[in-house]
């Protein structure tokens, strides 16, 4: 294990260490970076997929628990199909019929989700080995990850240079800053796919977590989970999380959209005030531990997913099992299928422009 920065008492300053996380199936060595802040919170990130492997934060009595699902080693991530903790790209979420048109040219992607493309294709950014560099940051410990997605990779046009900076701040927030540039017109939609359970990973279902989402509308989907194009009011639907509501309160209601998703697996349209900074997207409270997580973002949407496809079969960290609905995701993003939906906010990136988005998961406690 190597201590990278800074030296000094860990309990007062925070630190970053690096250790081996094993080898990818094709033999590339990858590492695990452990960032600790001055309060003893800790995030572990591997440069395989830019994945958040663990995230340890205190409860109301100061007890630390790991609040994200994951695997103990790189093999788990290489084999896994759930995108635990990963950076998802080049296009997070679905593209209908696995194709889109830019300047009259049709681009064809792999159909890895029924008829559609999901999360960047067969070998998305979650399977890439990223270049890692520790950075000094004024408010915590940072890790910069970069990746060059080549022109034509997974069918997308343009050499896309991507940088993701993770910062664990001294006030228990995990900030993720995504940047990208291209040499050809392309589409980009990056997110992080962490699965949260604020009572601790492997500790049962998340149906009792209280959720608020700053959204008045959502994007209803068809049977392939592709948005129909409608922005539907959440009023009188199980998608109304404008006031704190238990995730499980309405999840089994006889509702067509919930049935299509097998639970919640939908994009909500965030109520974003004008301006370019981050705004509050969602707040989650777990009453037994008092842990609170707020999600702040510059993105217009968030995919709320209740782990409907988890089946408890593969072994998670420390032997934990992850049954259906044992975690939730709040994937900040542009809307699914935006390349084919002219009325949705644009995901097109041109040469000379810089893609730049920020999402922060802020942890605190309630008494």
Applying CB under 6 A, the residues found at the interface with ligand GLA are 82-83, 93, 118, 225, 265, 303, 305, 309, 329, 331
Q: 162: buried, middle or exposed (CB in 10 Å: 19+, 13-18, 0-12)?
A: buried
Cβ-based nearer residue to ligand GLA, 59 or 337: 337
Q: Least distance in Å: CB of 76 to ligand GLA?
A: 15
**Any catalytic annotation for residue 331?**
yes
Q: Which of 119, 193, 209, 334 is catalytic?
A: 193
3-state helix, strand, coil in the chain (%, to 5): 10, 45, 45
Cβ-based nearer residue to ligand GLA, 40 or 114: 114
Cβ-based nearer residue to ligand GLA, 118 or 295: 118
Task: State how far Cα 236 lies from the chain centre.
Answer: 28
Cβ-based nearer residue to ligand GLA, 31 or 331: 331
Contact 134, 3 (CB under 8 A): no
Contact 255, 249 (CB under 8 A): no
Distances (CA, A) of 94 to 106, 118, 157, 183, 211: 17, 4, 17, 24, 24
Q: Least distance in Å: CB of 234 to ligand GLA?
A: 18
**Any catalytic annotation for residue 294?**
no
Cβ-based nearer residue to ligand GLA, 33 or 328: 328
Assign residue 98 a region (left: φ > 0; alpha: ψ between -120 and 50; beta: otherwise): left
Distances (CA, A) of 201 to 64, 195, 322: 12, 9, 8
Q: Least distance in Å: CB of 285 to ligand GLA?
A: 22
Q: Least distance in Å: CB of 309 to ligand GLA?
A: 5
Q: Least distance in Å: CB of 265 to ligand GLA?
A: 5
Rounded distance, CA 217 to CA 239, Å?
8
Q: Which of 153, 154, 278, 331 is catalytic?
A: 331
For the annotated catalytic residues, the residue numbers are 193, 331
């Amino acid at each position: 294990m190597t201590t990278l920065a800074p030296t000094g008492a860990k309990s007062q300053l925070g630190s970053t260490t690096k250790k081996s996380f094993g080898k990818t199936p094709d033999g590339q060595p990858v590492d695990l970076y452990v960032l600790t802040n001055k309060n003893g919170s800790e995030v572990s990130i591997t440069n395989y997929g830019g994945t958040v492997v663990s995230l340890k934060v205190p409860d109301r009595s100061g007890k630390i628990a790991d609040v994200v699902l994951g695997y103990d080693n790189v093999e788990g991530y290489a084999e896994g199909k759930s995108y635990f903790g990963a950076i998802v790209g080049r296009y997070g979420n679905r593209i209908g019929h696995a194709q889109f048109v830019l300047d009259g040219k049709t681009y064809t992607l792999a159909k890895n989700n029924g008829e559609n493309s999901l999360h960047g294709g067969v070998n998305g950014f979650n399977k890439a080995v990223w270049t890692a560099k520790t950075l000094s940051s004024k408010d915590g410990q940072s890790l910069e990850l970069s990746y060059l997605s080549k022109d034509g990779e997974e069918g997308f046009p343009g050499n896309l240079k991507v940088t993701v900076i993770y910062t664990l701040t001294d006030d228990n927030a995990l900030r993720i800053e995504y940047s990208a540039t291209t040499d050809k017109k392309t589409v980009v939609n990056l997110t992080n796919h962490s699965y949260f359970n604020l009572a601790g990973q492997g500790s049962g279902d998340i149906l009792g977590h209280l959720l608020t989402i700053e959204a008045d509308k959502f994007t209803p989907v068809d049977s392939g989970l592709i948005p129909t194009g409608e922005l539907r009011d959440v009023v009188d639907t199980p998608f109304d999380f404008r006031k704190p509501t238990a995730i499980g309160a309405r999840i089994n209601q006889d509702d067509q959209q919930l049935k299509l998703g097998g639970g919640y697996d939908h994009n909500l349209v965030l109520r974003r005030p004008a301006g370019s900074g981050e705004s509050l997207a969602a707040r989650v409270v777990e009453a037994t531990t008092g842990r609170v997580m707020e999600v702040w973002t510059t993105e217009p949407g968030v995919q709320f997913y209740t782990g409907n496809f988890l089946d408890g079969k593969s072994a998670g960290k420390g032997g934990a099992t992850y049954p259906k609905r044992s975690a939730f995701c709040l994937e900040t993003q542009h809307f699914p299928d935006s390349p084919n939906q002219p009325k949705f906010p644009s995901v097109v990136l041109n040469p000379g422009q810089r893609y730049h988005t920020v999402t922060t998961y802020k942890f605190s406690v309630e008494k």
